[in-house]
Amino acid sequence: MIASYERHSPSKLNLYNADPALFFLEYVLGEKQPTNAAMARGSAVEDGVTHGLTDLDAAMKECADVALTTYDSRTALLADERREKYRDTIPAMVDAALTELRQYGKPTGMQGLIEWQPDGVRLPIVGYYDYRWDDHGILADLKTTEKMPGSIKFSHARQVAHYAVSDNIDARLIYVTPKKMEIYRLENVRQHREGLALIAQSVEKFLDISDDAETLKNHALPNLDSFYWNAPQLRQRAYEIWGL
């Protein structure tokens, strides 16, 4: 049985591009992977920042407390050795992101829906941008990470390019680590959008191979050296599904 797949998203397409086997597990078999400390921290920091942009007068501690509440809720039953370490970094990350983004004023849009139907792709690509300031022509996506990248990651470039529907938009990636914050402006937006469409075409060709998951699995073998498969439960599923 193949799980329902009715629309693309930048995150789904980036996952397929990075690891087709994990895409198969999540979107063909329907086995969504549980959160981890890094994912929970990202959601928490975004909630704190969103609170501080919604109310520009909110104290930094108040915004950090919103973030910590989200983090504690998402990690209450989480067995991740990084849990407390990552929790301790949240207030500083919220502070760094808000210090930058509050300079632009209150966003005119937050968590806005963008739907795009590229030529040659059957299903729409649907995603939600983080923040938009129409007065400044700025669109920003917030990314939390443990180490600062030296440039925009290709997966993030494709994601933000999906949101930048006009050549006049100044699309930015805001990277925040426990110790640093960097802003990168996205160049070659059209090129990255075209890349996203090509991946969508590839996904549809993959799903067209068969309506039988047992057949599809042989077209997407896992690379167990990849960090995507570090979790013991994922390695166990790889063994159960593929015998690896």
Structure tokens at 235: 């390695």
pLDDT at 34: 81
Give pLDDT tens digits for 153-186: 999 999 999 998 777 899 999 999 999 999 999 9
What 3-state DSSP class applies to 29? Answer: coil
Whether the predicted pLDDT of 231 surpasses 90 = no
Q: Give me the helices (H) in the chain, please.
A: 10-18, 20-23, 37-54, 60-75, 83-101, 154-163, 189-208, 213-216, 232-242
Share of the chain above pLDDT 90, in %: 86
CATH architecture of 107-208: Alpha-Beta Complex (3.90)
- The DSSP element (H or E) to which 140 belongs, if any, is strand 138-144
Measure the CA–CA gap between 228 and 238, rounded to whole angstroms: 12
Distance in angstroms (rounded) separating the CA atoms of residues 131 and 118: 23
Mean pLDDT of the region 9-13: 96
Tens-digit pLDDT profile for residues 76-123? 988 888 999 999 999 999 999 999 999 999 999 999 999 999 999 999
Residue range 57-78, pLDDT digits in tens:
999 999 999 999 999 999 998 8
As beta bridge partners, residue 144 has 176
pLDDT (0 to 100) of residue 3: 72
For the chain, the structural domain boundaries read 30-105, 107-208
Q: Name the burial class of residue 1, with classes exposed (0-12), middle (13-18) and buried (19+) by CB atoms within 10 angstroms of its CB.
A: exposed
CA angle 137, 143, 146 (to 5 degrees): 150
Q: For residue 47, is pLDDT > 90?
A: yes
Please give the Cα distance from 59 to 92 (Å, whole number).
Answer: 13
pTM of the model: 0.91
Going by C-alpha positions, the residue among 130, 126, 181, 184 that lies closest to residue 157 is 184
Q: Is the model more confident about 130 or about 2? A: 130
Q: What are the structure tokens assigned to 190, written together?
A: 């059209």
